Structure 1
Amino acid sequence: MSLSFVVADIASELALFAAAGFLLFALDDLAVDIVYLVRRAWRATTVYTRYPRAFAGTLARPARPGRMAVFIPAWDEGAVIGAMLRATLERWGAADYLLYVGFYPNDPATAAALGKMHDPRVRPVQLPHAGPTTKADCLNHLYAALAADEAREGWSAKAVVLHDSEDLVHPLEIALFDTLVERAALVQLPVLPLQSRGSRWVSGHYCDEFAESHGKEMVVREAIGASIPLAGVGCAIERKALTRLAERRGGQPFAADCLTEDYELGLRLGEINEGAMFVRIPAHPGSRALVASRGHFPETLDAAVRQKARWIGGIALAGWDRLGWRGGLGERWMRMRDRRGPLAALLLVAGYGAALLWLQMALAHALGAPVVMQVSPLLAFLLKLNLALLAWRLFVRLCFVTAAYGIGEGLRSLPRTVVGNVIAILAVRRAIAHHVSGRAAQWEKTAHIFPAAEPAQ
């Protein structure tokens, strides 16, 4: 058998494996699309014909206004934490809240920035040990500081709000949480990454993914009764619910040995039947701008790979062991989707590998080499079917990205899919290596920037 036949067989087997896997994933995605579209049509014909649409700016005041405790874990954030706190204080104004900022004794830059904040609503909390540990460990110390303040000063927080040190909060967010935590123990707002002109492709792919996941996926999770995973920012947990979870975990509600404590927190709250709400609500009548958490995401390939590796390692690898497959059919379906990242990366490698081999064979044939390229009827059918489903997948992403960022970014999202695939492959490789090594979880943060100019809300 000639080398060309061997190469052709390898390419065909790789393509068949990838095509079969892509078909299963595409049908899975299509099922999510169908649920989303059915839910949207049902709400349009039943809910919105009977009740007016809600807006954050005109929402009824809470029945029992309360104080919000905002947790902001910080490690090596001296460059952004001051600007973030000042912007938050300005945007939220006279609302009833406290900003608990956790920092480490071996982080003088963050400590110096916090030392310049003289507002009594900012409460720095220095951890008793050097960092970095994990974000969850920092959050647990903030929880302890909150409990100590409540006991000493004789008050109780209504809810705990989570944010990162680079977040740009929405002016209406804190008032919205004050109202909605009376209806659900967990409230998650959408996350809308800020666009970076210097990183249209790497940073921009986060815009694409969050526009679709927080425009459709989270909506579907809520619709089918699955747990709402927290994004770690722009979310509020009712104080009593957090206490109940802490009592189950030895007084520490956040999993200190977990890389994705926010994701796990949402699922743990779901397991103890705490109600959750994912809220996509415009700020004002006549405006499509949502109340959302905004911030810049990694702008370099290496930083994006490290961040995605943490997410994949915590959700797809460690999450399998830590959280198992509890819950009903909808919950298990969503957990399966959460954990398919490593298999998706393997399929992408197989698919790109087959494409490269076929490209080499096509070039060799064009140059006159005796190369035989054969595609079985089954593979040809799968390729055509997958091509049609890919076209639908790209169209769906185009719609969601356009709705969030405009038609220009919507069109860019199509070629950015390849960038996202490359980052996913590299991130899975890194996550598996870290998982197999058995290294202890540690805060592997990326450099953050705070927006120089605040976007319109």
Structure 2
Amino acid sequence: MWWLDVFSSYLYALSVVVVVIAVLILVSGLDDFFIDVVYWVRRCWRSLFVYQTRERTRYHELYRPAERPLAIMVPAWQETGVIGHMAELVATTLDYENYHIFVGTYPNDPDTQRDVDDVCARFPNVHKVVCARPGPTSKADCLNNVLDAILQFERRARLTFEGFILHDAEDVVCEHELRLFNYLVHRKDLIQIPVYPFERQWNNFTSLHYLDEFAELHGKDVPVREALAGQVPSAGVGTCFSRRAMLALIEDGNGIAFDGQSLTEDYDIGLRLKERGMQEVFVRFPVLRYQRRPKCVEKFGQSRAEANVVCVREYFPDRLATAVRQKSRWIIGIVYQGYRTHGWKRSPVLNYFLWRDRKGAINNFVSFAAMLIMLQLGAISLLQLAWADAPRFVSIFAGQRWFDVVLVANIALMGNRMLQRVIFVSGYYGVKQGLLSIPRLLWGNLINFLANLRAIRQIIRCGDPRRVAWDKTTHDFPSIGGENRAKRSLDEMLVANGVVSEADLHDARVHCIDGLQLGSSMIHEGRITAGQLAAPIAEQIGVPCERVDLASLPSELLRAVPRHVALHYAVLPLRMDGSTLVLACESYVDPVSLAAIARQLGRRVRYVIAYKGQVTVGLRRWYTQAQGDRDPHHLLEMAADRGLIARERVPHLWDGYVSRQVMLGEILVAQGHLDEVAFRALLLSHARSELRLGEFLIGQGVISADTLHRLLRLQASLQPSVTSLLEQECADFEQLERAS
């Protein structure tokens, strides 16, 4: 029958395709098996011999080096509602303080800009950068704009960042990440930590297949690559570059660090730094705290060490179209642009891993074709089972012993592939996800095939892989509660509360006292009181406002707050509210600083706004007063006891003295030597110095010695002493007596 001839021809063609596909799968499977063998041999060797003679680095070692300034670079295109959550989560969870976040926005994305402005108002270490060109440009172009802003900030703040960290707005950063980078950045030039996607509902195979791939890639493949080739592909997030590496990238690019045409600038950078002989490292560092009674592992089959590595977490796309779009960008950047830009290298070992990067262009089609072939062969087998007299179609594969060996080998390699996937997924996510990774292999093959198909279509349409436009993928961010609170300006609140009129406020601006900010100047001129200034500041921030009685501060709390903490953050301990320590401050304490105070004191803290000058005088009295210095309040009491002033005048004179005290930092900012953000950055460095603030600023080149002497003279002239107030009060008292 004619249909039998047609079907036989189809089977013959199928047999040829099957042979080709089987051989290609065998080659790829042996390649993967080689990586498996290297990983497990290396792991056993290190366990049996290396760690028997050398102790593993414990997490408390990360706290030994001083906190170096680190810059986090975040590109943001249409990230409204995300960057605020990231900054808040970072501020409240990071066990680090000396860092700044620079967010790259676009001039045609006003919603994201407004969101970042609100974040900057709450977090002084977050800085908005507006790119020169409208978006969306490439991620690399946005990062170039961010890097330029960082270098400008360094010059303005007299600050030198030692590490430059890549993150996305949706990243959830590990508590010890910056500690780890700080520990390694003076020895390594590219530091990459693992990425572990967040879980979703068990049947969301699209999102969860990322979980499988990253668990194996960052659990096994990249560590082997680093061990054999000494080269680490950056993941684009959780990557730290040393200053030396960043300057080398800028030099190579004639002033531009990131390749603006690359869709995977992170992958490109790893290869460029390797060519420069830079040191690259992939770090899987578990943070295991000692516990008398170790908690049971949360999920069955989960490894305590694997599940506690310092890593980046984020949600990956959960829709097929979005996942295909993202992966096609990766394929274009790594396979096609990577080959076009970097070609092959002199090192055969590195070329082997470059081949592994690029074999996906073939493997994705091969894997999909294998799935189709399996479906066809399965249908034929079912047909033969259902029709006893059917011709033995599958007999075309019989009698080929070498092909049987290939099939058996492929089945064994596939079994090993599944086993490896289960092991590495289970280590972080538990056995449930490990077993589910097996059916997700098929869905992942489909996504990779469609992504490869889309990548090829884009390249054909553009004519050149380097002309393909950046195609951003949106992500989800885990909800952490709370809202970004936009703050009204202090000027608006003073007028709205009826403290001053618009005309008085305008006049105060015109006649603002040199060396003072507007609020302090208005107090000095008697336009407002310290309480009238403190109330809107507290309302603006959302914390209570309290008058501080310096004489009643508990001595045990004053001893509990170390001198360097009190002076660095300009806070005074007031009382214990249950298990929470209540602090007094005269201005906003950002969440980063508040979290750092809590960590250093080992207890929960909150703060209230004190009247201007009360914390300043308290710090001088309890933490900086030299032995033999006289208590200013005691001088007033003595004057009243001797009849030099009326007793009822003591509170008035004391309030006048306290509210007119001025700190050197306010004068520096008011006179334009530094902006407030740059001054806060310098204070972080000063906290580790034994020098007085003025001497430290001279050493940093912020001001000269002559300028410091001038500023100190200005400070002395702006803030009255108790003696001068008494002399004026006594003179007024004598004039009043003569007049009467």
What TM-score does the superposition give when structure 2 sets the normalisation length? 0.59
Contact 1:32/1:220 (<8 A) preserved: yes
Contact 1:14/1:353 (<8 A) preserved: no
Match of 1:303 among 322, 339, 342: 322
Give, in whole Å, the separation in 2 of the partners of 1:114 and 1:36: 44
Higher relative contact order (CA 8 A, sep 6+): 1
Give, in whole Å, the separation in 1 of the partners of 2:127 and 2:235: 23
Please, what is the CA RMSD of the aligned residues?
1.7
> Residue 172 of structure 1 corresponds to which residue in structure 2?
176
> Residue 417 of structure 1 corresponds to which residue in structure 2?
441
SS at match of 2:241: strand
Give, in whole Å, the separation in 1 of the partners of 2:478 and 2:211: 16
Amino acid at match of 1:324: G
Alignment pair present for 1:293 and 2:312: yes
SS at match of 1:373: helix
Per-residue deviation, 1:371 = 5.5
Give, in whole Å, the separation in 2 of the partners of 1:233 and 1:278: 13
Amino acid at match of 2:106: Y
> Residue 262 of structure 2 corresponds to which residue in structure 1?
258
Structure 2 residue ranges without an equivalent (≥5): 291-303, 482-740
> Residue 279 of structure 1 corresponds to which residue in structure 2?
283
> Residue 449 of structure 1 corresponds to which residue in structure 2?
476
Match of 2:418 among 394, 413, 425: 394
> Residue 103 of structure 2 corresponds to which residue in structure 1?
101
Contact 2:324/2:450 (<8 A) preserved: yes
Amino acid at match of 2:440: R
Per-residue deviation, 1:320 = 0.6
> Residue 66 of structure 1 corresponds to which residue in structure 2?
68
SS at match of 1:116: helix
Alignment pair present for 1:361 and 2:385: no
Q: Deviations over 1:149-204 (max 9, x none)?
A: 11222221101011001000011111111111112111101111111127631111
SS at match of 2:72: strand
> Residue 155 of structure 2 corresponds to which residue in structure 1?
151
Per-residue deviation, 1:383 = 1.4
Which range moved further: 227-236 or 39-48? 39-48
Give, in whole Å, the separation in 2 of the partners of 1:413 and 1:382: 25
Matches within 5 A, 1:102-141: 102-117=104-119, 118=121, 119-141=123-145
Which range moved further: 355-364 or 244-253? 355-364
Contact 1:11/1:357 (<8 A) preserved: no
Match of 1:218 among 198, 218, 222: 222
Per-residue deviation, 1:113 = 1.1
Amino acid at match of 2:394: M
Contact 1:11/1:355 (<8 A) preserved: no
Amino acid at match of 2:78: D
> Residue 394 of structure 2 corresponds to which residue in structure 1?
373
Amino acid at match of 2:476: I
Amino acid at match of 1:396: Q
> Residue 4 of structure 1 corresponds to which residue in structure 2?
7
Match of 1:21 among 20, 24, 34: 24
Give, in whole Å, the separation in 2 of the partners of 1:138 and 1:248: 18
Give, in whole Å, the separation in 1 of the partners of 2:249 and 2:175: 29
SS at match of 2:186: coil
Match of 1:191 among 179, 192, 195: 195
SS at match of 1:236: strand
Match of 2:48 among 22, 45, 49: 45
Per-residue deviation, 1:114 = 0.7
> Residue 83 of structure 1 corresponds to which residue in structure 2?
85
> Residue 231 of structure 1 corresponds to which residue in structure 2?
235
Q: Deviations over 1:352-374 (max 9, x none)?
A: 23223323333443345445222
Per-residue deviation, 1:65 = 3.7
Per-residue deviation, 1:33 = 0.8
Give, in whole Å, the separation in 2 of the partners of 1:209 and 1:96: 34
Match of 1:269 among 273, 283, 296: 273
Which range moved further: 27-36 or 52-61? 52-61
Structure 1 residues 229, 257: CA separation in 2 closer, same or farther (over 3 Å shift)? same
Amino acid at match of 1:192: Y
Amino acid at match of 1:402: S
Give, in whole Å, the separation in 1 of the partners of 2:412 and 2:367: 17
Alignment pair present for 1:426 and 2:450: yes
Match of 1:349 among 356, 362, 368: 368
Contact 2:230/2:280 (<8 A) preserved: no
Give, in whole Å, the separation in 1 of the partners of 2:225 and 2:111: 40
Which range moved further: 284-293 or 116-125? 284-293
Give, in whole Å, the separation in 1 of the partners of 2:229 and 2:378: 46
Give, in whole Å, the separation in 2 of the partners of 1:110 and 1:309: 26
Give, in whole Å, the separation in 2 of the partners of 1:98 and 1:132: 24
Per-residue deviation, 1:56 = 2.8
Give, in whole Å, the separation in 1 of the partners of 2:368 and 2:202: 28
Per-residue deviation, 1:50 = 1.3
Regions of 4+ moved over 6 Å: none
Q: Deviations over 1:313-371 (max 9, x none)?
A: 11011111111111412211110000011110221233223223323333443345445
Aligned residues, how many? 453
Give, in whole Å, the separation in 2 of the partners of 1:227 and 1:146: 27
Amino acid at match of 1:430: R
Amino acid at match of 1:107: D
Amino acid at match of 2:442: V
SS at match of 2:394: coil
Which range moved further: 381-390 or 96-105? 381-390
Contact 1:312/1:431 (<8 A) preserved: yes
Give, in whole Å, the separation in 2 of the partners of 1:433 and 1:17: 25
SS at match of 2:261: coil
Amino acid at match of 1:320: Y
What TM-score does the superposition give when structure 1 sets the normalisation length? 0.95
Give, in whole Å, the separation in 2 of the partners of 1:403 and 1:200: 20
> Residue 578 of structure 2 corresponds to which residue in structure 1?
none
Per-residue deviation, 1:60 = 5.0
Structure 1 residues 93, 405: CA separation in 2 closer, same or farther (over 3 Å shift)? closer
Structure 1 residues 198, 351: CA separation in 2 closer, same or farther (over 3 Å shift)? closer
